[in-house]
Amino acid sequence: MIRVLASHGVAFRQVSKRFGSVQALRPLDLDVLPGEFLTLLGPSGSGKTTLLNIAAGFLDPDGGRFLIGDRDVTALPPRSRNIGMVFQNYALFPHMDVFENVAYGLRVRGVSASDLRQRVEAALAMVRLDELGGRGIHQLSGGQQQRVALARAMVIEPDLLLMDEPLGALDRQLRKHVQLEIRRLHVEEPRTTIYVTHDQEEALVMSDRVAIMRDGRIEQIATPAALYENPANAYVATFLGESNLLPVQVLGTEGEQTAFSLEGYDGIHHLPRAGTDVPPGPALLLARPETIRVAELDAPGIGAMVEETVYLGELTATRIRLARGQQIWMRAMNAPPRAVGSEIRIKWDPVKARLLASEPTE
Amino acid sequence: MTAQGATSQGDSALTGPARNQSTARALMTIGLLAPALLFLAAWFLWPLVQLLMLSFSAPEGTFSAYVALMESSVFRAVFLNTLQLALFVTVICTLLAYPAAWLLTRVRGFWFSLALYCVLVPFWISVLVRTFSWMLLLERNGPVNNFLIRIGATDQPLRLLFNDFGVSLGMVHVLLPYAILPVYAAMLKVDSRLLQASDGLGASGRTTFMRVFLPLTLPGVWAGAAFVFLLALGFFITPALLGGPRNLTAAMLIDSFVNERLVWPMAAAASFILLFIVLVVLLVVSRFVALGQMVLAK
Amino acid sequence: MTGQTQSRAVVAQVAGAVVLAFLVMPIFAVVPASLNDASFIKIPPETYSTRWYTQFFDDATWVSALLNSIKVALLATGFSVVLGTSAALGIERLPGTLRSLAVGLVLAPLIVPVIMISISLYYVTRSFGLYGTTIGLALSHSLLCLPFVVLNVGVSLKRLDLNLVRAAEGLGAGPWRVFRTITLPAIFPGLAGGGAFAFVTSFDEVVISIFIAGYGAKTLPVKLWEQIRVEFTPVAAVGSTVILGLTVIVFILARWSAAASNRPASGRDT
């Protein structure tokens, strides 16, 4: 079994995989930095689980390589890669108690009895299950079982931690609780981690970086904040958080600004150029609900009518119909509720709004 | 190799090492299967091949054994008798199996275990023991005759053994569990909501049975019947012990070819003719019934 | 249900019960027959005695037949369990069509008429000097035992969560360790059930044994067969009862251990 120094990064180089006629992964490259918590986020069929299984060694890629640190491990079976895996259905060994489950990987490695006991107890303490070593796994709740699975994966000090939608079987409250636990553990002992989920909220809470996947490709990989504020395309924009997308016509760049007109409306608008320019032609304006404001009486704005207001506690969400028929949402804190049917004029925050390339909707 | 993404390196070089894992897995699979498959090849297939060659080795000519059998009226009669017997036994078993299987679905707890054991225990017990017990029961001075005489159904002991009756009774008894289990399995699968729906639509009990329950359980019935028929075709012990001189079955004939008349080519040829019939029936049935469920009923 | 349907249902249930009773009762005819004091068969016996049991266990030919049966059955069971478990593990890894073919081959000895298997083995074992040997007979019985082991283990194997194996592999376990610590405990019920059925199948087996047991490996069913064709004696009834008794004991043991190992489902089966 190879033993690389702890906290090596991992890398996928041109990894591709096909199942029959389905291309699950197009050749892709991905680097995970040492000690980084990277989440693969996407719907089912996006290839995220396939990528994870290739990292684990349960699947052979059709092409490409996978490296842990500097070593090409593509040809190595899972048992030689020194990985820790956590599954959605916990996969705890039913005929062993909690202690034996956590100790399994250490026994395989021939750790001495006293060392073993110490490390298992430390691992259980780390996930806050100190006194439960002797319990049978059937006596534990779902959340406890998942924490045992975590302890089992981490006690062997793996070079790479892999988690496949581990919280999918837990109810909402518990999920949030365990998310924070995992985050805490990661902060205490940063370990290169690849985490797979389809829950965008989870991805945002836990990750250093998130890779959004679709149809076997990585659409964008960035920190949660960067993804939210500067999505690369409409898919990413709609995948993370609420969004309003309005069709526009980009006219061209004028100095530091891009000029565009809203489809079906008069007037030319401007936005500061941010990152890559969108070429002239049809495009989309991304204006998240919290960036929509009611325009002052004399200031420029788009005419609209209030259709519905939804009270969300500290927020009020308002559904508005624009003059040409598009529906968008507006969110504001402590905003006075608007009467349904009332006519207002709205504008978007020019700092936060973004122009995105037009593409077929998902 | 650098850590940079290498786009131009030949793909064959990159996939080389990765192939080893799947070859290793394939080798392991072969390794796991090899002992059993080699054993079956050596101890099952090879002897049958030898037998096949024997069937063509009659001194009178390659096919003379087959020809002799086809032309022999005795042989034709024996085969016909075997088929008739198998068919008769199958029909009886199927008719009896249905209420028995139905009872199994309707009882719970202790009664269910009891009923299930009634089917499973005989299933496990040697065919010789079961056949012998019928011999003991059906003989001239046996309890059945004594009982019949006592209740006045007859004056003289009836000939219940060494005839069609004895053989049929014994075979039905032995084969009944094979008929019951698939039918039971099929009945379990019937969604009771379908029956409720039929009831709710105003159908009478009889209609619900005839038009909903029975058709849904029919695959299990066919599976059981096929199983019984195939087994009955090859029966040796029960007809040999319970039957009379007129109740010769194909298996008994083959036995006599080997042990009494020492005509191996005839024995081999007769075996393959029997096997052929079995395979034909199997093929025909497998188009209508999932054979998997047949074998899982154990 | 209407009254008419209800009474029809009752009639059907009674018919079913009669059929089930018919299935069980006759078998136990051998038990009273073996306990008859007189030297001929009479059911029910007028006086009871166990003297025929003494006779049975004093008779060297009957005892050696019984011992042969046990020996052969143990050999056949051991052989089929090892080969069958290995085969079941291999079959699990095969893709669809190959899997059906492999299962078909394993099950084929159950489809081919046993008389045919018997004479083909008779012919072959005579040539190779395995006629009349315990080993030869045990191997031959294994043909009939193997399918049950493969099926039973296969069913247990299907229930095994693939993620458990992956978890063990991920934690560094090699194939043998995974088998020993994860797979084997999981398939043990299937293995034990298959093994029990294999034992009984071999112990009860009569047709193949008639042809190839010879004198060296004559089993209890064969001796019984020979005896019955000559005359009915209470000793034969004792022999039958011994076979019956052993079968029932193994059956009960198998059911008990199956019930005992029916633990709640592992973790949360998603």
Domain contains A323: yes
Domain contains A1: no
Least CA distance to C240: which residue of chain B?
Answer: B129
Give the pLDDT score at C200: 94
Task: Establish whether the linkage from the previous residue to C44 is cis, with ω within 30° of 0.
Answer: yes
> Do A19 and A99 sit in the same domain of this protein?
yes
User: DSSP characters for A157-200?
Assistant: --SEEEEESTTTTS-HHHHHHHHHHHHHHHHHS---EEEEES-H
State the Cα–Cα distance between residues A271 and A349, nearest whole angstrom.
10
The nearest CA of chain C is from the CA of B271 a distance in Å of 6
Q: Which of residues 195-234 of B touch C (CB under 8 A)?
A: 204-206, 230, 233-234
Domain contains A90: yes
pLDDT in tens, A43-79: 988 899 999 999 999 998 998 999 998 899 998 999 9
Examine the pLDDT at B17 and tell me if it is beyond 50: no
The nearest CA of chain A is from the CA of B35 a distance in Å of 25
C5 versus B297: the higher-pLDDT residue is: C5
Least CA distance to A62: which residue of chain B?
Answer: B15
pLDDT in tens, C136-165: 999 999 999 999 999 999 999 999 999 999
The three-class DSSP label of residue A213 is strand
Q: For chain A, which chains pass the contact test of at least 3 CB pairs under 8 Å?
A: B, C
pLDDT tier for residue B12 given thresholds of 50, 70 and 90:
very low
pLDDT in tens, A317-347: 888 888 888 888 888 887 777 788 888 888 8
The nearest CA of chain B is from the CA of C176 a distance in Å of 11
**Enclosing H/E stretch for A259:** strand A257-262
| Sequence-ordered list of residues with C-beta below 8 angstroms from that of B220, at least 6 positions apart, any chain | B101, B182, B183, B184, B185, B186, B187, B189, B293
Whether A302 has its CB under 8 Å from any CB of chain C: the answer is no
Contacts of A72 in chain B (CB under 8 A): 1, 17
> Do A233 and A338 sit in the same domain of this protein?
no
Give the pair of three-digit tokens for residue A177. 């609780």
Determine how many CB atoms are found less than 10 A away from the CB of residue A286. 23
pLDDT in tens, C63-74: 999 999 999 999
Domain contains A2: no
**Three-state helix/strand/coil letters over chain B:** CCCCCCCCCCHHHHHHHHHHHHHHHHHHHHHHHHHHHHHHHHHHHHHHHHHHHHHCCCCCCCCHHHHHHHHCHHHHHHHHHHHHHHHHHHHHHHHHHHHHHHHHHHCCHHHHHHHHHHHHHHHHCCHHHHHHHHHHHHCCCCHHHHHHHHCCCCCCCCCCCCCHHHHHHHHHHHHHHHHHHHHHHHHHHCCHHHHHHHHHCCCCHHHHHHHHHHHHHHHHHHHHHHHHHHHHHCCCHHHHHHCCCCCCCHHHHHHHHHHCCCCHHHHHHHHHHHHHHHHHHHHHHHCCCCHHHHHHCC
Angle at B228 between CA B225 and CA B233, to 5 degrees: 125
Give the pLDDT score at B3: 40
Least CA distance to C20: which residue of chain B?
Answer: B118
Find out whether B159 and B243 touch, Cβ atoms under 8 Å.
Answer: no
Side chain identity, residue C139: L
Q: What domains can you pick out in chain C, each with its CATH number?
A: 57-260 (1.10.3720.10)
Examine the pLDDT at A225 and tell me if it is beyond 50: yes
- Domain boundary assignment for chain B: 12-55, 62-296
> Do A270 and A222 sit in the same domain of this protein?
no
Mean pLDDT of C178-189: 93
| Residue A341 C-beta-side C-alpha neighbours within 13 Å | 0
List the single best residue of B1, B8, B9, B21 to mutate versus A (max A Cβ within 10 A): B21
Give the pLDDT score at C234: 85
- Domains held by chain A: number: 2
The nearest CA of chain B is from the CA of C178 a distance in Å of 14
- Identity of the residue in B5, B11, B15 whose CB atom sits nearest the CB atom of A29: B5
Kindly tell me the burial class for residue C114, based on how many C-beta atoms sit within 10 Å of its own C-beta (0-12, 13-18, 19 or more).
buried
Whether A80 has its CB under 8 Å from any CB of chain B: the answer is no
Q: Would the CB atoms of B20 and A75 count as touching at under 8 Å?
A: yes
Mean pLDDT of A168-192: 88
Sign of the Cα torsion C48, C49, C50, C52 reads negative
Q: Would the CB atoms of B143 and C84 count as touching at under 8 Å?
A: no
Give the pair of three-digit tokens for residue B169. 């009774």
pLDDT in tens, A144-154: 999 999 999 99
Contacts of B19 in chain A (CB under 8 A): 60
Axis-axis angle for helices A172-188, A142-154 (nearest 10)? 20
Kindly tell me the burial class for residue B90, based on how many C-beta atoms sit within 10 Å of its own C-beta (0-12, 13-18, 19 or more).
buried
Which of A238, A257, A287 is a domain's end point? A238
> Do A151 and A292 sit in the same domain of this protein?
no
> Do A211 and A249 sit in the same domain of this protein?
no
Give the pLDDT score at B247: 85
C190 versus C27: the higher-pLDDT residue is: C190
Whether C167 has its CB under 8 Å from any CB of chain B: the answer is no
A264: domain range? 242-357
Examine the pLDDT at A277 and tell me if it is beyond 80: no
Q: For chain B, which chains pass the contact test of at least 3 CB pairs under 8 Å?
A: A, C
Q: For chain C, which chains pass the contact test of at least 3 CB pairs under 8 Å?
A: A, B
The three-class DSSP label of residue A65 is strand
Side chain identity, residue C92: E
Give the pLDDT score at A339: 83
- Identity of the residue in C8, C115, C228 whose CB atom sits nearest the CB atom of B234: C115
> Do A168 and A259 sit in the same domain of this protein?
no
Q: What length does chain A have?
A: 362
Tokens 């004895």 found at: B166
Give the pair of three-digit tokens for residue A294. 């009611």
Domain contains A362: no
Whether C174 has its CB under 8 Å from any CB of chain A: the answer is yes
Contacts of A89 in chain C (CB under 8 A): 161, 163, 267-270
B187 versus A267: the higher-pLDDT residue is: B187
> Do A203 and A271 sit in the same domain of this protein?
no
Mean pLDDT of C218-242: 90
Whether C109 has its CB under 8 Å from any CB of chain B: the answer is yes
State what percent of residues in chain B have pLDDT above 70. Answer: 90
Examine the pLDDT at B297 and tell me if it is beyond 50: no
Give the pLDDT score at C68: 93
Give the pLDDT score at A2: 43
Which of A181, A205, A238 is a domain's end point? A238
Domain contains A183: yes
Q: Which of residues 17-36 of A touch B (CB under 8 A)?
A: 29
Mean pLDDT of A258-279: 80
Examine the pLDDT at B100 and tell me if it is beyond 50: yes
List the single best residue of C161, C166, C171 to mutate versus A (max A Cβ within 10 A): C171
Whether A60 has its CB under 8 Å from any CB of chain B: the answer is yes
Examine the pLDDT at A362 and tell me if it is beyond 60: no
Find out whether A157 and A126 touch, Cβ atoms under 8 Å.
Answer: no
ipTM of the shown complex: 0.87
Query: How is domain B62-296 classified at the CATH fold level?
Result: MetI-like fold (1.10.3720)
Q: Would the CB atoms of C13 and B30 count as touching at under 8 Å?
A: no
Least CA distance to B49: which residue of chain C?
Answer: C120
Domain contains A4: no
What are the Cα distances from residue B251, in Å, to B247, B266, C219, C235?
11, 12, 21, 28
State the Cα–Cα distance between residues A288 and A215, nearest whole angstrom.
25
Contacts of B160 in chain C (CB under 8 A): none
Mean pLDDT of B81-108: 91
Examine the pLDDT at C266 and tell me if it is beyond 70: no
Q: What values do phi and psi take at A87, rounded to 5? A: -105, 160
Q: Would the CB atoms of B1 and A72 count as touching at under 8 Å?
A: yes
Whether B164 has its CB under 8 Å from any CB of chain C: the answer is no
pLDDT in tens, C165-178: 999 999 999 999 99
Q: Would the CB atoms of B205 and C9 count as touching at under 8 Å?
A: yes
Mean pLDDT of B10-29: 62
Whether B177 has its CB under 8 Å from any CB of chain C: the answer is yes
The nearest CA of chain B is from the CA of A8 a distance in Å of 13
Mean pLDDT of A32-52: 93
- Identity of the residue in A29, A63, A77 whose CB atom sits nearest the CB atom of B15: A63
pLDDT tier for residue B150 given thresholds of 50, 70 and 90:
confident
Q: Would the CB atoms of A72 and B17 count as touching at under 8 Å?
A: yes
Tokens 């250490």 found at: A106
Question: What's CA A256's distance to the chain center, in Å?
Answer: 32
The three-class DSSP label of residue C93 is coil
| Sequence-ordered list of residues with C-beta below 8 angstroms from that of B12, at least 6 positions apart, any chain | none
pLDDT tier for residue C115 given thresholds of 50, 70 and 90:
very high
Chain B / chain C CB contacts < 8 angstroms: 253
> Do A103 and A152 sit in the same domain of this protein?
yes
| Residue B135 C-beta-side C-alpha neighbours within 13 Å | 28
State the Cα–Cα distance between residues A205 and A181, nearest whole angstrom.
11
The nearest CA of chain B is from the CA of C269 a distance in Å of 22
Q: How high does pLDDT run on average in chain B?
A: 84
Q: Would the CB atoms of C181 and A145 count as touching at under 8 Å?
A: no
Mean pLDDT of C218-246: 90
Give the pLDDT score at B8: 39
Which range, B141-145, C38-42, C58-62, C76-80, has the best average confidence (pLDDT)?
Answer: C76-80
> Do A231 and A266 sit in the same domain of this protein?
no
- Identity of the residue in B1, B6, B17 whose CB atom sits nearest the CB atom of A75: B17
> Do A69 and A125 sit in the same domain of this protein?
yes
Q: Which of residues 54-73 of C touch B (CB under 8 A)?
A: none
The nearest CA of chain C is from the CA of B71 a distance in Å of 22
State what percent of residues in chain A have pLDDT above 70. Answer: 96
Q: Would the CB atoms of A79 and C161 count as touching at under 8 Å?
A: no
Contacts 24+ apart (CB under 8 A), B81-84: B81/B246, B81/B247, B81/B248, B81/B249, B82/B233, B82/B249, B82/B250, B82/B251, B83/B233, B83/B277
Longest dimension (CA), chain A: 79
Q: Which range has the worst mean pLDDT, A26-35, A263-272, B79-88, B120-129?
A: A263-272
> Do A199 and A268 sit in the same domain of this protein?
no
Examine the pLDDT at A5 and tell me if it is beyond 80: no
Q: How high does pLDDT run on average in chain C?
A: 87
Domain contains A3: no
Which of A238, A269, A299 is a domain's end point? A238
Angle at B195 between CA B194 and CA B198, to 5 degrees: 90
What are the Cα distances from residue A161, in Å, to A15, B127, C260?
19, 59, 38
List the single best residue of B11, B15, B25, B28 to mutate versus A (max A Cβ within 10 A): B15
| Sequence-ordered list of residues with C-beta below 8 angstroms from that of A350, at least 6 positions apart, any chain | A270, A271, A272
pLDDT tier for residue C30 given thresholds of 50, 70 and 90:
confident
The nearest CA of chain B is from the CA of C268 a distance in Å of 25
Whether A168 has its CB under 8 Å from any CB of chain C: the answer is yes
Q: Would the CB atoms of C267 and A92 count as touching at under 8 Å?
A: yes
Contacts of C34 in chain B (CB under 8 A): none
Looking up residue A304, the CATH number of its domain turns out to be 2.40.50
Looking up residue A182, the CATH number of its domain turns out to be 3.40.50.300
> Do A277 and A290 sit in the same domain of this protein?
yes
pLDDT tier for residue A218 given thresholds of 50, 70 and 90:
very high
Give the pLDDT score at B261: 83
Q: Which of residues 203-232 of C touch B (CB under 8 A)?
A: 203-207, 211, 221, 224-225, 228-229, 232
Give the pLDDT score at A272: 82
Tokens 């095969």 found at: C94
Give the pLDDT score at C264: 42
C122 versus A189: the higher-pLDDT residue is: C122
Mean pLDDT of B134-143: 85
- Identity of the residue in B1, B5, B21 whose CB atom sits nearest the CB atom of A14: B5
| Sequence-ordered list of residues with C-beta below 8 angstroms from that of B132, at least 6 positions apart, any chain | B241, C30, C224, C228, C236, C237, C240
The three-class DSSP label of residue A346 is strand
pLDDT tier for residue A360 given thresholds of 50, 70 and 90:
low
Examine the pLDDT at A141 and tell me if it is beyond 80: yes
Whether A357 has its CB under 8 Å from any CB of chain C: the answer is no
pLDDT in tens, A70-103: 899 998 999 999 999 999 999 999 999 999 999 9
Q: Would the CB atoms of C150 and B36 count as touching at under 8 Å?
A: yes
